[in-house]
Amino acid sequence: MYTKYYLVILVFLCTVSVYAQNQKDSLQVVDIPEVIVSGTSSNRQQKKSALHIDVLQDEYLKKHFNGNIVQMLENVAGIQSMDIGMGFSKPMIRGLGFNRIAVSENGVKHEGQQWGADHGLEIDAFDVENVRVLKGPSSLSHGSDAMGGVIEILPPNMPVDNQFFGSASFLGKSVNESLGGSVMLGFKKDNFMLRARYSESHFGDYRIPTDTIIYLTQKIPIYGKKLKNTAGMERNASLFSMYRSGRYMSNYSFSNIYQKVGFFPGAHGIPDLSRIEDDGNSRNIDQPNSLVNHFKFTTLQQYTLKDIIFSANLGYQYNHREEWSQFHTHYGDQPVPAVHPDKELEFRLHLISGSFKANFLRSSKWENVVGIDFQKHLNNIGGYSFLLPKYDKFNMGAYWISNWHITDKLTLTGGIRYDWGKINISSYEDPYLQSYLSGQGYTESEIEDYRWRSYPVNKTFGDYSGSLGLVWMPDKHNIIKFNIGRSFRLPGANELASNGMHHGTFRHEKGDPSLNSERGWQTDALYSFKSGIVQLDISPFFNYFENYIYLKPTGQWSVLPHAGQVYQFTGASAILTGSEFNFSLDLTKNLSYRFGGEYLYTYNLDENTALSYSPPATFTNVLTWKTRIWQLDLECKNILAQNRVARNEDKTPGATLFNMNGFINIPIGKEYASLSFSINNIFNKKYYNHLSFYRKIEIPEPGRNFQLSLNIPFTIIK
């Protein structure tokens, strides 16, 4: 029924767009930072928002391009990458990840199975040109899932002149013999722009700087220092159009992301030496593996009525994830499925979302934004194994945000939001577990408790968030920001009702239907100084959570065979505090030095331990030689040891890494092709990423990697 409502809304907006296209061109000149991001508007955003904002534009992204959008953002202090081998990654901001941060593309929140540590971000890195990162509580405008921050992937800008344009991009890496490319073609005619892109990449098993790992006290050989079955591929297609005329603007976006990546066989189940023997093919994708297809449609409709900007973002997404592993059962009487016998898990998520807002610009002193948004989730499951039941969820929120420019030097910001959500989770009965427990001698009452892997859950949540902040610019060299806010997050379906072996975390995870919303108070500050050859940025933060949801080891042995201890989702009081800082100095006209770092301290007040997945402190020294057409960076990265860990979480030793990056602009007619190259982990250092999917089984990070990327644009002015 929600699909019908969505189609009615879409038809209405298309009707409005046809009407608006026939109106006289009388659009007033207004600043719309949500739509157009340039160097100057970036500065305006930084001065208007009390939160720390990093705007990464096309030039920066080309210099740091590596085919993985999350790892590209990792160069920004405060952003961490939770890697799944060399293939895919998921982002964290100041130690908060999963459903605590939001990723939006073209104004629509990107939704997949982001609750899992082994679930990457399904976005084409070749198609990203402008990114805006908001660190800190961003629930007001982006909903409860943005309590840790937001990564906004902004739509491309429309060229000024009528033209036919395009680009060809190529990427190669040595560590996994990766080859990838992308082709984009487009044209701009008067008020209309259309562009299409196709990208594809293939990579093989990646190299690590060791030939042996130790997991569960067992030595596991790594043949040829290549991690078997970590090869993968990605195939993406997208279409984007934009129309601007008079008071009206709209865009439409279609994208389809297809990913397939293998998992190291030693990472699933009990280590078996026969499964990791060299098969002589480093580019095949064998089982176990994951397959993800993400289809997305989004549209922005915007109309300006005098000094009010009305906008609507609508989207539909379908995320289809499958995990394949050769059929195996611990029960004995579980039959082999007649269709797709090796499909272990399947998740099919349908999502319809919409947001509507009005931006009031009647006064240069006072700006107000009011809005409402909603999301409808429907997630079905399949496969011969079980982890998460099927569910449907609906949530909506309403908010008001205000900016009061008291003087040219002082701005006060604030707002309030209320969210309401409802989740309906289906029950799941496991008859094979029932017969297994009966054979093991469990009592009837125990069997009755365990055979229901998931009980039905029907819960309603409602809570508010708010913030108050200021931006003070005492002079042209200094900016001071401070923001305090209350935020909350609705618990996810996995936190309420999961019950099974999660290979992504190597443990039996169990939800708790009685969980309440996650709530916290968060403060964020920034001091920025820039004068001549010197720039300094310091951004401390402090977060206190009344009910931080985490996985707690129960000490109870799982009844599932070979599953070990049960980890229960539960709430606790917790603190997350730390800071990021950057210092840069222009030594000469061409030579500059930058020192940056980040530090995070987490504390579970109930358990007197750190929180799991707490990234270690990191410090980076970069020496840059830059001319008009080329740039060379020499980098020394110090990763401190992470010894403050949660219960049953492994400590991670520190490491010092050396990297080199280069960038060259090559004139081609009136255009410039960009060539970037890098050597990461120059000395082939063996080290571990505390956030890595493979950290639990003592697999180090990739070895030395030579990378080369090339982007060749063209433009034909008509």
Instruction: State pLDDT tens for residues 441-456.
Output: 888 888 877 788 888 8
Pairing of strands 618-626, 79-84: unpaired
Q: What is the pLDDT of residue 596?
A: 94
- Whether the ω angle into residue 288 lies within 30 degrees of 0, i.e. cis, is yes
Domains in the chain, number: 1
Q: What is the pLDDT of residue 352?
A: 96
Average pLDDT over residues 235-253: 95
Q: What is the pLDDT of residue 272?
A: 67
Q: What is the pLDDT of residue 10?
A: 40
Q: Is residue 477 very low, low, confident or very high in pLDDT (cuts 50, 70, 90)?
A: very high
- Give the largest Cα separation in the chain, rounded: 81
Strand, coil or helix: 696: helix
Q: What is the pLDDT of residue 710?
A: 95
The total of other beta-carbon atoms located within 10 Å of residue 218's CB is 12
Average pLDDT over residues 363-386: 92
CATH classification at residue 360: 2.40.170.20
Residue 494 lies in a domain: yes
Angle value at C-alpha 174, between 170 and 177, nearest 5 degrees: 75
Instruction: State pLDDT tens for residues 253-312.
Output: 999 999 999 988 876 666 567 777 888 888 999 988 999 999 999 999 999 988 899 999
Residue 506 lies in a domain: yes
Determine the Cα–Cα distance for residues 175 and 231; give it in Å rounded to an integer: 11
Q: What is the pLDDT of residue 615?
A: 93
Instruction: Assess whether pLDDT exceeds 70 at residue 384.
Output: yes
Range of the domain at 605: 2-332+346-717
Q: What is the pLDDT of residue 370?
A: 96
The total of other beta-carbon atoms located within 10 Å of residue 576's CB is 23
pTM of the model: 0.88
Average pLDDT over residues 128-148: 86
Q: What is the pLDDT of residue 197?
A: 97
Q: What is the pLDDT of residue 268?
A: 66
Instruction: State pLDDT tens for residues 1-59.
Output: 444 433 344 433 443 333 333 333 332 333 333 333 333 445 555 566 777 788 888 88
**DSSP character string of 88-119:** EEEEEETTEEGGGSEEEETTEE--SSTTSTT-
Are the C-beta atoms of 54 and 703 separated by less than 8 Å?
no
Among candidate residues 390, 255, 372, 249, the one with its CA nearest the CA of residue 315: 255
Tokens of 430: 């496991």
In the block, residue with structure tokens 């997945």: 613
Are the C-beta atoms of 493 and 459 separated by less than 8 Å?
no
The residue with greater pLDDT, 13 or 225, is 225
Average pLDDT over residues 498-507: 73
Residue 679 lies in a domain: yes
| E strand intervals along 627-704 | 630-639, 655-668, 671-680
- Whether the ω angle into residue 159 lies within 30 degrees of 0, i.e. cis, is no
Instruction: State pLDDT tens for residues 297-323.
Output: 999 999 998 889 999 999 999 999 999
Residue 324 lies in a domain: yes
Strand, coil or helix: 453: strand
In angstroms, how far is CA 347 from the centroid of its own chain?
A: 19
Q: What is the pLDDT of residue 36?
A: 33
Tokens of 602: 């987490």
Residue 116 lies in a domain: yes
Q: Give, as one character, the DSSP assignment of residue 291.
A: E
Instruction: State pLDDT tens for residues 567-580.
Output: 889 999 999 999 99
Instruction: Assess whether pLDDT exceeds 90 at residue 213.
Output: no
Angle value at C-alpha 244, between 54 and 403, nearest 5 degrees: 40
**DSSP character string of 202-261:** EE-PPB-S-SEEEETTEEEE-GGGB-TT--EEEEEEEEEEEEEETTEEEEEEEEEEEEEE
Residue 154 lies in a domain: yes
| E strand intervals along 362-433 | 366-382, 391-405, 410-425, 428-429
Among candidate residues 106, 164, 94, the one with its CA nearest the CA of residue 136: 94
Determine the Cα–Cα distance for residues 570 and 509; give it in Å rounded to an integer: 11
The residue with greater pLDDT, 619 or 556, is 619
Q: What is the pLDDT of residue 121?
A: 85
Determine the Cα–Cα distance for residues 73 and 221; give it in Å rounded to an integer: 33
Q: Is residue 595 very low, low, confident or very high in pLDDT (cuts 50, 70, 90)?
A: very high
Instruction: Assess whether pLDDT exceeds 90 at residue 170.
Output: yes
Residue 387 lies in a domain: yes
In the block, residue with structure tokens 């997949």: 112
Residue 340 lies in a domain: no
532, burial (CB in 10 Å: exposed 0-12, middle 13-18, buried 19+)? exposed
Strand, coil or helix: 57: coil
Pairing of strands 149-154, 102-105: parallel
The values of phi and psi at residue 47, to 5°, are -80, -25
